[in-house]
């Protein structure tokens, strides 16, 4: 299938990609946003949606999912085309200089500019070693709607920030929450672990998931105490598998970009070495780079404005003030 035409494609719907999409729309560019994950929000939505973020300008203490919701609302102002669950795979140069961007699904987009806001790359949830066949039938890798866990016996598997955060969030909603981790020590933030131990969640370590059973969906879990080898059967109708993610720049490494330590080298205009391809956010590398959301927002504005001028030299680099719009 080929070739919807947009002025600019943003690869990555993390915080920086969402802001780049808003900015491109603000500049009057037609825009498509591509992300390999089914949900927007990048690391914030996938790894720490319930954490309070304190260092985004103007928002003293915003929960990850609230920040993503606000960025989405802002990005939607100019109605970009959303291609979620789609990976940017390859680019080809057309005779007129435009870029043909091929997605892994076989869809392609024709565009004048690409802004890579690809963060740490495509990240995939680490699968449950057992019970993965219940995915979507009680087993989730993402908690998109905490209220849907009401009345359920929930098993959370993992020892990092997202496992502990989900256990804390869901114990206020679910019938019961059991959290298991294969080690005695958690890698999650100390304060969250202390809160967990003071909460109603049942914490069992060093435990692993031995088996899940159920007819149409999960209804029992068998846990194994790795210290004693004993098996414990519990009621369990929902499982949150929070075993972390693997990240990979994957196909972007074949675009002819200069890549250093899994980051894309850009100049002060956020241009990569490939004409028409810009980058912003965690994925970029340059002297003095700091990987923070606030820095990525500035880079998104730089990338979009510079991409616009490169594709249309009659355009002004300075966008004007947003207060001047109605
Ligand atoms: C636990 C934790 C706590 C943090 N706390 C803070 C904090 O307090 N303050 C702060 O400023 N920062 C914090 N950060 C860092 C912050 O989350 C990142 O700086 C931010 O997410 C970077 O945003 P991004 O949009 O550049 O990339 P990401 O959030 O990584 O999003 C990139 C998106 O691109 C997609 N993608 C990648 N490659 C492709 C492809 N080929 N095709 C399609 N899609 C693709 C990915 O699926 C992903 O959704 C924290 C990070 C972690 C892990």
250 with 308, same domain: the answer is yes
In this predicted structure, what is the pLDDT of residue 50? 79
119 with 143, same domain: the answer is no
64 with 11, same domain: the answer is yes
229 with 143, same domain: the answer is yes
| CATH number of the domain to which 185 belongs | 3.50.50.60
163 with 210, same domain: the answer is yes
How crowded is residue 198: how many other Cβ atoms within 10 Å of its Cβ? 9
17 with 61, same domain: the answer is yes
116 with 81, same domain: the answer is yes
Domains held by the chain: number: 2
Q: Single out the residue in 243, 261, 288 at which a domain terminates.
A: 243
Q: Is the pLDDT of residue 187 over 70?
A: yes
148 with 227, same domain: the answer is yes
Query: Rounded distance, CA 154 to CA 135, Å?
Result: 14
Q: Closest residue (by CA) to atom 46 of ligand 1? A: 122
In this structure, are residues 257 and 90 in contact, taking their beta carbons and an 8 Å threshold?
Answer: no
Closest CA to 145 of 49, 217, 220: 49
Q: Single out the residue in 243, 262, 290 at which a domain terminates.
A: 243
Domain limits for position 314: 4-123+246-324
- Per-residue pLDDT of 232-266, as tens digits, reads 999 999 999 999 888 889 999 999 999 999 999 99
Distance 238 CA to ligand 1 centre (A): 27
- Per-residue pLDDT of 189-221, as tens digits, reads 899 999 999 999 999 999 999 999 999 999 999
**What is the pTM assigned to this prediction?**
0.85
229 with 305, same domain: the answer is no
Pocket of ligand 1 from Cβ distances under 6 Å: 11-17, 34-37, 42-44, 47-48, 53, 55, 87-88, 117-123, 161, 251-252, 281-282, 291-294, 296
Q: Is the pLDDT of residue 102 over 80?
A: yes
43 with 118, same domain: the answer is yes
Band (pLDDT 50/70/90 cuts) for residue 162 is confident
20 with 105, same domain: the answer is yes
Q: How large is the average pLDDT for residues 123-137?
A: 89
Q: Which residues pair with 165 in a beta bridge?
A: none
User: Is the C-alpha dihedral spanning 64, 69, 73, 75 positive or negative?
Assistant: positive
42 with 131, same domain: the answer is no
In this predicted structure, what is the pLDDT of residue 3? 56
In this predicted structure, what is the pLDDT of residue 189? 86
Q: Single out the residue in 204, 221, 243 at which a domain terminates.
A: 243
């Amino acid at each position: 299938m080929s070739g919807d035409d947009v002025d600019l494609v943003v690869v990555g719907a993390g915080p920086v990609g969402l802001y780049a999409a808003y900015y491109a729309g603000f500049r009057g560019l037609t825009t498509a946003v591509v992300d390999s994950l089914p949900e927007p929000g990048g690391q914030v939505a996938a790894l720490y949606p319930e954490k309070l973020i304190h260092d985004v300008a103007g928002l003293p203490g915003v929960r990850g999912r609230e920040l993503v919701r606000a960025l989405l609302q802002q990005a939607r102002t100019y109605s970009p085309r959303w291609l979620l669950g789609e990976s940017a795979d390859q680019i080809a140069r057309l005779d007129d200089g435009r870029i043909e961007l091929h997605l892994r699904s076989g869809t392609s987009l024709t565009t004048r500019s690409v802004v890579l806001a690809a963060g740490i790359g495509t990240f995939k949830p680490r699968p449950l070693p057992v019970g993965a066949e219940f995915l979507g039938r009680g087993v989730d890798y993402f908690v998109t709607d905490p209220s849907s866990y009401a009345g359920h016996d929930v098993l959370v598997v993992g020892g990092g920030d997202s496992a502990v955060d989900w256990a804390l969030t869901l114990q206020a909603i679910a019938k019961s929450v059991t959290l298991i981790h294969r080690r005695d020590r958690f890698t999650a933030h100390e304060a969250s672990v202390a809160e967990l131990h003071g909460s109603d969640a049942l914490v069992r370590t060093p435990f692993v998931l031995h088996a899940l059973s159920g007819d149409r969906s999960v209804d029992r879990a068998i846990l194994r105490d790795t210290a004693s080898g004993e098996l414990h059967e519990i009621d369990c109708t929902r499982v949150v598998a929070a075993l972390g993610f693997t990240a990979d720049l994957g196909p972007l490494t074949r675009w002819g970009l200069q890549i250093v330590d899994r980051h894309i080298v850009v100049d002060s205009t956020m241009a990569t070495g490939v004409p028409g391809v810009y980058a912003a956010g965690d994925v970029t590398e340059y002297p003095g780079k700091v990987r923070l959301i606030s820095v990525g927002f500035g880079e998104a504005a730089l990338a979009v404005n510079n991409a616009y001028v490169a594709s249309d030299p009659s355009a002004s680099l300075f966008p004007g003030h947003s207060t001047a719009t109605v």
